[in-house]
Amino acid sequence: MSANTHYLSWGRAHRFEHKPHKLAWRDSIELSNLSEPMLVQGLGRSYGDCCLNGSGTLLLSKELDHMIAFNPDTGILDCEAGVSLDSVLKLIVPHAYFLPVSPGTKYVSVGGAIANDVHGKNHHVAGTFGKHVLGLKLLRSNGELLTCSADENQDLFAASIGGMGLTGLIVSAKIKLKKALPVIDQEIIKFNSLSELQEIENASQSRYEYTVSWIDTLASGKQFGRGLYFRGNHCEHIKKSPQDYLHSNPKLQVFFDAPSFVLSEFSIKLFNSVLFHKQRQEKKLETVPYDPFFYPLDAVKSWNRLYGKQGLYQYQFVVPCDSLDFMGDILKFLQKSHQASFLTVLKKFGSITSPGLMSFPKEGWTLALDFPNRGTATLKVLSDLDRMVSDLKGRLYSAKDGHMPASMYQSSYPKLEDFSKLVDPKFSSNFWRRVNASK
Amino acid sequence: MQANRMVIIGATSAIATELGRIYATKRWEIYLLARSPEKLKILEDDLKARGAVATHSRCFDFAHRGNYQGIVDWASQGGCIDLLLIAHGVLGDQKASEESNELALQDFEVNFLSYMCLLNSFSKNMESKKKGTIAVISSVAGDRGRQSNYFYGTAKGAITIFCEGLRNRLFKSNVHVLTVKPGFVKTPMTAHIKQGPLFVEPHKIAEDISRAVERKKNQVYTPWFWWIIMTIIKMIPEPILKRLKL
C-alpha cells in the first residue's frame, strides 16, 4: 500500500486522507476484503468531491489501462475503465476516428467520462458521452461481475451512466467512436451583447456540430455581455495523413502553487480583456488541429495550481430556458459580488436525453464559472447563485460541485430515489454523503 | 515485408508493458514471456488493439531454472529478433535476505542468474544473425552497494558488468547491448515504498529506453538526472560511504 494517502480533486479545495488501493489487472480485482466505504478514482479530474472518499478506500484505476479490442472497420473500442481519453485519441486518430463526445480535457479516464456522463461542444447534436456507450462491465462489491447495456441489466446501466462511480466499479466499457478527421474548420465571432450572442446561437445550432461561447463576466457598461463565440465542424479533407495531426504531450507545467495575486480580480479582468481584444476582426476563420480546439487548457500541465494553495471552486449549472434573459441578472450579480470568474463558458444544450438516471445535461443553457477559493466569501457567492439557479428550476453538475446543499440536490434530480436503490451498498463518496446529509 | 520482431521477457512488468505499447504502435510483432497466463492474455489484447501486427505469449517462472534455449527457439522461430527486452525481477526484502540464505539465493536466481542464462542463450542466436538490440533492465541500485538494499543491488550490478562484457563481445557482430538504469519508478514493485518527487511514471522510462535503442546508446540512466545523482554517489570515498545511512 502506498504511503501517500492524501488525495485531492482537481479543484484542490478538498483534500482528504484515504486508504488507497491500486487496481491493475482486470482478472484479479478483489473488492470483498477491502474496507468500506469504497470509491474509484480515475485521473482525479473532477473539481469537487465526487471523486473523493475521505477515510475510506480509494480504488485507483490509473493502471487499469489496457485496451481490449479496437475494430477500425466498425469503430467500436472496448477498453478498461482506467484508459485515458488521451490514450484513446492516440489510438484512434490515425484511423480517422474521433471521440463521439469530448469534454474540455483529454486527461480523464473512460470510466470517469461515463461516471460523470460528460458532455462537450456538440451536445446539441450528439448528446452526452453515455449516449455512445454500448455496454460496460460492472463489478459490484459482492463480487458479481455484471455486463450492463441497454438490453442487459438495464437498470444498472442507466444508473452507472452519470452514477458518479457509486454503482460499483466500472471495469471496462465498449464505446462507439465517430468517423471524423482530426482537424476542425473553426470560426470565432465577437459578440458585444447577450442579444447578439442569442442571434448567433440561433443561426449556428443547425449548421455547426460544435458550438460554445466564452463570456467576459467583468465587462460592464457598453461592453456588458461581450464575448467570443466558437463554432466549428470537422474538416472533410486534409492535406496530410490523420497521424500527422496527433497531439503531443504538454510542454508547459505549473510546478508550484501560485500566490493569490496571480488570479486577483484585476488580473482576471485584464486577462479577459486581452482575450477579447486579441482578435481584431469581428469574425475569424481558421483550420485548426483538434487538440487546441477541444483541449486548450491541456497545453499547461497542472494549470490548477495557478489558483494557489486554496484551490478553486467550479460552478456549472443548467437552466431549462430557451432565452438568455437570465444571464443579465447573473452577470450583474457576479460583478457586484467581486468574486471574479477566470474563464466563463456558456453553451446551449440540445434536447437529446442521456440514458443515465443522474446525468446533468438537460435542454437549456449551461454556464460554467470558476472561482479562486477565498473561503467564506466564495461560498457565500455560491449559495447566492444556488438560489438564483433554483428559482430558474436549474441544477448543478456533480462532477464540478464541492458545496451544493443536500436540499438543492434532492429537489433538482428527479430520479434520485430510483438511483439510490441501485447504489452499491459498500460504495460512497464525500459528495454522496454530503448530498444525502439531511434527508 | 516481414514485421520487426520484439521479444519481452517479464512482459507484465510496468516498464515492459509501456515499452511494448510503443512498439505496438509502430506495428511490430511482439513475443511476450511472463509468469501469469491470465495477465499475458490481457497484455496480448492490449498490444494487438494498439497496433501490434501479431502477438505470441508463453508462460515461464524465473524462480525455477528451466529450458532457456527453448525460449530462444520459440522467440526466434521463422525470423530474427530485432529487439530483446529483459525486464523481469523482484525487489526482494533486504532484511529477510539477511536472515535467510535460501531467500537470498531465490531472489538472486530471478534477478541475476536467469538474466545470465537468458543473455547467454539469446546472444548466440542474435550473434549468428548479426543484427538486433538487447536492452536489459539493470538499476541505479547496482552502481554502489548500500546497506538498505545490497542484495538487489548486487544482482543489478552483476547485470551491468555482464552486459559490459557482452556488449564488447557482440560489437563485432553488429548486435547492440543497452544497459538501462532506472531510478525510482511508480510500479507495483515499489507501491509499498513512500513515493517522493523523484518517482516517475513507467511510460517515461519506456520513452527513454526506446530513444536509447534508436540512438544505440550503451547505457541510459532514466530519468536522466539519475546520471548526476549516481556520478556523485560513485565519487563518495568508501571510508565516508560506510558511515552513511543509505
Q: Which residue in the set A2, A25, A91 is minimally distant from B50, CB to CB?
A: A91
The mean pLDDT of A206-221, rounded to a whole number, is 94
Question: Which range marks the domain in which residue A122 is found?
Answer: 67-180
CB contacts, 8 Å: B25 with chain A: 90
Question: Is residue B246 situated within a structural domain?
Answer: no
Question: Is residue A328 situated within a structural domain?
Answer: yes
Q: Which of A67, A92, A175 to mutate to test the interface with B (most CBs of B within 10 A)?
A: A67
Q: A141 and A225 in one domain?
A: no
Q: Are B16 and B85 in contact, with CB atoms under 8 Å apart?
A: yes
CB proximity under 8 Å: A 75-114 to B: 77-79, 90-91
Would you state the pLDDT for residue A231? 97
User: Does the pLDDT of residue A84 top 50, yes or no?
Assistant: yes
**pTM of the predicted structure, to 2 decimals:** 0.93
Question: Is residue B148 situated within a structural domain?
Answer: yes
Q: How many domains does chain A have?
A: 2
Question: Which range marks the domain in which residue B157 is found?
Answer: 5-241
The separation between the first and the last C-alpha atoms of chain A, rounded to the nearest angstrom, is: 35
**Cβ <8 Å between A70 and B49:** yes
Would you state the pLDDT for residue B23? 98
Q: Which residue in the set A25, A70, A78 is minimally distant from B42, CB to CB?
A: A25
Q: pLDDT grade, residue A256 (50/70/90)?
A: confident
Q: Which of B25, B35, B41, B46 to mutate to test the interface with A (most CBs of A within 10 A)?
A: B46
Q: Which amino acid is at A258?
A: A
- How do residues A114-138 score in pLDDT, each as one tens digit? 999 999 999 999 999 999 999 999 9
**Cβ <8 Å between A90 and B188:** no
- How do residues A360-409 score in pLDDT, each as one tens digit? 999 999 999 999 999 999 999 999 999 999 999 999 999 999 999 999 99
* CATH number assigned to the domain comprising residue B205: 3.40.50.720
Nearest Cα residue in chain A from B191: A2
Would you state the pLDDT for residue A420? 97
Q: Are A110 and A85 in contact, with CB atoms under 8 Å apart?
A: yes
Would you state the pLDDT for residue A1? 41
CB contacts, 8 Å: A26 with chain B: 42
Instruction: Give the end of a domain, one of A180, A212, A232.
Output: A180
CB contacts, 8 Å: A90 with chain B: 25
CB contacts, 8 Å: A79 with chain B: 49
Would you state the pLDDT for residue A3? 46
Q: A158 and A119 in one domain?
A: yes
Alpha-carbon distance of B89 to B137, in angstroms, equals: 9
Name A77's bridge partners: A70, A175
Q: How many domains does chain B have?
A: 1
Q: A352 and A281 in one domain?
A: yes
Would you state the pLDDT for residue A208? 97
Q: A240 and A143 in one domain?
A: no
Would you state the pLDDT for residue A438? 63
Residue of A340 and A226 predicted with greater confidence: A226
Q: A196 and A118 in one domain?
A: no
Nearest chain A Cα distance for residue B188, angstroms: 8
Nearest Cα residue in chain B from A24: B188
Question: Is residue A432 situated within a structural domain?
Answer: no
**Phi-psi map region of B34: left, alpha, beta (phi>0 left; psi -120 to 50 alpha):** beta
CB proximity under 8 Å: A 157-176 to B: none
Would you state the pLDDT for residue A4? 60
Dump strand ranges (E) for B153-238. 176-182, 219-222
Residue B25 touches partner A, C-beta closer than 8 Å:
yes
Would you state the pLDDT for residue A272? 87
Question: Is residue A411 situated within a structural domain?
Answer: no
User: Does the pLDDT of residue A11 top 80, yes or no?
Assistant: yes
Alpha-carbon distance of B167 to B222, in angstroms, equals: 20
Question: Is residue A421 situated within a structural domain?
Answer: no
Nearest Cα residue in chain A from B39: A25
Nearest chain A Cα distance for residue B215, angstroms: 21
Residue B42 touches partner A, C-beta closer than 8 Å:
yes
Q: Are A353 and A117 in contact, with CB atoms under 8 Å apart?
A: no
- How do residues A47-65 score in pLDDT, each as one tens digit? 999 999 999 999 999 999 9
Nearest chain B Cα distance for residue A353, angstroms: 31
What HEC string does B91-141 produce?
Answer: CCCHHHHHHCHHHHHHHHHHHHHHHHHHHHHHHHHHHHHCCCEEEEECCHH
User: Does the pLDDT of residue B239 top 90, yes or no?
Assistant: yes
Residue B37 touches partner A, C-beta closer than 8 Å:
no
Question: Is residue B125 situated within a structural domain?
Answer: yes
Question: Is residue A5 situated within a structural domain?
Answer: no
* CATH number assigned to the domain comprising residue A229: 3.40.462.10
Q: A326 and A303 in one domain?
A: yes
- ipTM for the assembly: 0.91
Q: A235 and A312 in one domain?
A: yes
Dump strand ranges (E) for A87-206. 97-98, 133-139, 145-149, 169-176, 178-179, 183-191
The mean pLDDT of B136-154, rounded to a whole number, is 95
- Mean pLDDT check: name the lowest of A271-280, A401-410, B24-33: A271-280
Residue A2 touches partner B, C-beta closer than 8 Å:
yes
Q: Which of A7, A25, A253 to mutate to test the interface with B (most CBs of B within 10 A)?
A: A25
Q: A110 and A90 in one domain?
A: yes
Name the nearest CA neighbour of B179 among B223, B209, B144: B209
Question: Is residue A320 situated within a structural domain?
Answer: yes
Q: Which residue in the set A1, A27, A68 is minimally distant from B38, CB to CB?
A: A27
**Cβ <8 Å between A69 and B39:** no
Question: Is residue A58 situated within a structural domain?
Answer: no
Q: A299 and A169 in one domain?
A: no
**Cβ <8 Å between A22 and B191:** yes
**Cβ <8 Å between B191 and A3:** no
Q: A330 and A314 in one domain?
A: yes
Q: Which residue in the set A4, A68, A69 is minimally distant from B195, CB to CB?
A: A4
CB contacts, 8 Å: A67 with chain B: 45-46, 49-50
Q: Which residue in the set A27, A63, A68 is minimally distant from B49, CB to CB?
A: A68
* CATH number assigned to the domain comprising residue A116: 3.30.465.10
Instruction: Give the end of a domain, one of A180, A198, A218.
Output: A180
Nearest chain B Cα distance for residue A88, angstroms: 10
Alpha-carbon distance of A339 to A310, in angstroms, equals: 15
Question: Is residue A45 situated within a structural domain?
Answer: no
Q: A174 and A311 in one domain?
A: no
% residues pLDDT > 70 (chain A): 99
Task: Provide the number of CB pairs (under 8 Å) joining chain A to chain B.
Answer: 48
CB contacts, 8 Å: A69 with chain B: 45, 48-49
